[in-house]
Amino acid sequence: MKALVFHGPGLKSWDSVPDPRIQDPTDVIVQIDTTTICGSDLHILKGDVASVKPGTILGHEGVGTVVEVGKDAGKFAVGDRVVVPAITTCGTCAYCRVGKAAHCMSTGVGGWVLGNATNGTQAEYVRVPFGETSLHRIPADLTDAEIIYVSDIIPTAYEMGVQNGQVAPGDTVVVIGAGPVGLSAMLTSQFMSPKRIIAVDLDDNRLEQAVAHFGATHAVNSGREGWMDEVRALSPVGGANVVIEAVGIPSTLEAAFDLVRPCGRVANIGVHGHPVTVPMDRLWIANITITMGLVNGVTAPMLIDLIEAGRLDIKPLTTHTFTLDQFEQAYDVFSHAAANDALKVLVTR
């Protein structure tokens, strides 16, 4: 088969590699029909994720068709359409049993297995460990484009941003970073009926998209002088109830600390590759709650139900579509997102 292979920092190629095969009784082999590229894939290519070794097939998001099933994965059958999630769950270890699959003990490496510790979804086929407890069956009336982002960024935004941030009715929510995961946080924050959702980014196009399609009530360009004062003017009573950081660099998390009100919450969902200074000397006395973490994926079934019911529309996240043999071109567009007005790229068979 063909696959997008990581060869070390800055190096990748669309290569011929062996087809995956069943290695464990709980494995499921899935033909990838649609996949995408995540910001964490770019972090891998920058050398920020040391656990990913050269020779690994990248990717942890996908929609596909089951083509082979291990003897202990009988929940699924050949021909089933499934979501391949970013997080693998055994369903039985101490963490998985309490909904914390990000730290699954049975994999030996935690929940982020695909495109990290083992070959991922940017390929024609993928082996999914613990397939019976990890995969999600797709309702027959949903297209790949309607469901693909349930693999990762929609649950990540909702679980790590909205739920961890405890967004509540009437809140002022600031989302720093209007990339795909930040936009997803704005989209799913609406479930909780906040009073304001303030999008913050350097890119005017993304800010326009945030207001037009993702629920932002206000947009502030952080490249302007005095932008923090603009946000504060929209956040009475000392700042925002919740600040969601969705970039993953020190300056944006530090900005979140400056914009949150006393007794507020900072929910970090950005992937950080460098240390950040946390001003504990002023945050502790302001009763600030800071959360962070890797998604568990436990809300995926609920999110699929909302999509099927027409209550959650993730299609506006897709701005560019490619075929599998155009993967390197897709990476070029996604890695220069601002220049290409790109949000998410869809890669299809």
Tens of pLDDT along 314-324? 999 999 999 99
Residues 235/261, Cβ–Cβ less than 8 Å: yes
C-alpha 263: how far from chain center: 27
Q: How confident is the model at residue 25 (pLDDT cuts 50, 70, 90)?
A: very high
Q: In this predicted structure, what is the pLDDT of residue 123? A: 98
CA 137, 139, 145, 147 torsion-angle sign: negative
pTM of the model: 0.96
Could you count the other beta carbons within 10 Å of the beta carbon of residue 249? 16
3-state secondary structure of 220: strand
Tokens 């693998």 map to which residue?
88
CATH of 155-291, one of 3.40.50.300, 3.50.50.60, 1.10.1380.10, 3.40.50.720: 3.40.50.720
Type of residue found at 41 = D
Question: Is the confidence at residue 8, as pLDDT, over 90?
Answer: yes
Percentage of the chain beyond pLDDT 70 is 100
Q: In this predicted structure, what is the pLDDT of residue 274? A: 86
Q: In this predicted structure, what is the pLDDT of residue 236? A: 83
Helices (H), 172-238: 180-189, 204-213, 227-233
Residues 241/252, Cβ–Cβ less than 8 Å: no
pLDDT in tens, 102-122: 999 999 999 999 999 999 999
CA distance 302 to 161: 16
261 conformational bin, left if phi > 0, alpha if psi -120 to 50, beta if neither: beta
**Mean pLDDT confidence for 6-25:** 97
Question: Is the confidence at residue 48, as pLDDT, over 90?
Answer: no
Q: In this predicted structure, what is the pLDDT of residue 273? A: 82
Task: Among 138-142, 178-182, 234-238, 328-332, name the one with the lowest average pLDDT.
Answer: 234-238
pLDDT in tens, 49-60: 889 999 999 999
Q: In this predicted structure, what is the pLDDT of residue 80? A: 98
pLDDT in tens, 278-302: 999 999 999 999 999 999 999 999 9
pLDDT in tens, 258-271: 999 999 999 999 98
CATH of 2-152+296-348, one of 3.90.1150.10, 3.60.9.10, 3.30.565.10, 3.90.180.10: 3.90.180.10
- Token readout for 262 is 């006393």
Q: How confident is the model at residue 222 (pLDDT cuts 50, 70, 90)?
A: very high
Q: Please state the domain extents for the chain.
A: 2-152+296-348, 155-291
Residues 137/81, Cβ–Cβ less than 8 Å: yes
Could you count the other beta carbons within 10 Å of the beta carbon of residue 320? 17
Q: In this predicted structure, what is the pLDDT of residue 267? A: 98
